[in-house]
Amino acid sequence: MSESPPTTPVCYRHPGRETYVRCTRCDRPICPDCMRDAAVGHQCPECVDEGRRSVRPARTAFGGGDAGRHGYVTKTLIALNVLMMLLSIASDRGGDAVAGGSGFGGLLGGSTPLTNWGAVLGQAVFPDGTVGGIAQGEWYRLLTAMFLHYGVLHLLLNMWALWVLGRSLEAVLGPARFLALYLVAGLGGNVAAYLLSAQNQATAGASTAIFGLFAAIFVIMRRLGRDTSAILPILVINLIFTFTVPGISIAGHLGGLVTGAAMALVMAYAPRSHRPLVQWVGTGAIVFVLLALAVARTATLLA
């Protein structure tokens, strides 16, 4: 009885294609279209996917995702601020939204309907006789104010600082932790402005969050054992501007600075064994304290 001739193996995904190449992991025949380069030989698509699922994603020194090195959050924040500036200009209908305000010798823009809507404002009577402000329930102002600016120069100064500081911090912290740092620092600065500014004084700008980034990068670089000598002069210069240039919210800048430092301490010094828990519980505690202070201020204004 004669033996049947051996059959040529065919790709397990493409039965019509003959092949003598096998997956080095599962030993199934694979054609050139199904080959995936591996450390040794080739693997099939299923084995490659299974291997990717079993590999832990890279993390930063503080437990964040490695995607932070791409700076997606920083770029998104800048785009959002630019979009809000365009909407602010559009809402002004030919007014002084771009320039012509009182700050920096008139180089900063004036208020617009959009900044009037979203700036930090304790309590005020508007021209139409209505009363508004955070004390009147407009709590959204504590967040929206960090995305609004008085003119293009105001925007450009803050966005340049965000571009320089944000990419470095996002790469070290990861996207989620960096976003939390930015938003909570901005919230802290706006709460400080609400607490310490006149109740009818409106303030806005990303500088509350930016000052938080200044403090955070100093704390984090110290934690990593890196040189911080280049950071201090820039921080000092910004503090000098804060105290000498009229129209700048001193309370907002200092509040952002202190809150950013507190957030950085929580992120950088959380123990490795319980790092995510300590970081997010610490973040929640800081937000709770800020909101409690805002509630206390509201009670004072309404008393």
Residues that are catalytic: 207, 253
What is each CA distance from 214 to 64, 161, 168, 176, 210, in whole angstroms?
Answer: 19, 9, 11, 18, 6
Q: Are 73 and 213 in contact (CB under 8 A)?
A: no
Here the tokens at position 79 are 């785009």
């110290």: which residue's tokens? 222
Q: Are 164 and 156 in contact (CB under 8 A)?
A: no
């199934």: which residue's tokens? 28
3-class DSSP string for 79-116: HHHHHHHHHHHHHHCCCCCCCCCCHHHHCCCCCCHHHH
End-to-end CA distance of the chain: 107
Q: How many CB atoms lie within 10 A of CB 115?
A: 26
Here the tokens at position 289 are 């304290």
Here the tokens at position 164 are 């320089």
Residue partners of 185: CB distance under 8 A and separation at least 6: 208, 209, 211, 212, 213, 215, 216, 256, 259, 260, 263
| Residue spans of alpha helices (H) in the chain | 45-54, 72-92, 113-118, 141-144, 152-173, 175-196, 207-223, 231-244, 250-269, 275-302
Closest CA to 267 of 68, 34, 51: 68
Q: How many residues does the chain have?
A: 303
Q: Give dist(CA 191, CA 97) in Å, integer.
A: 25
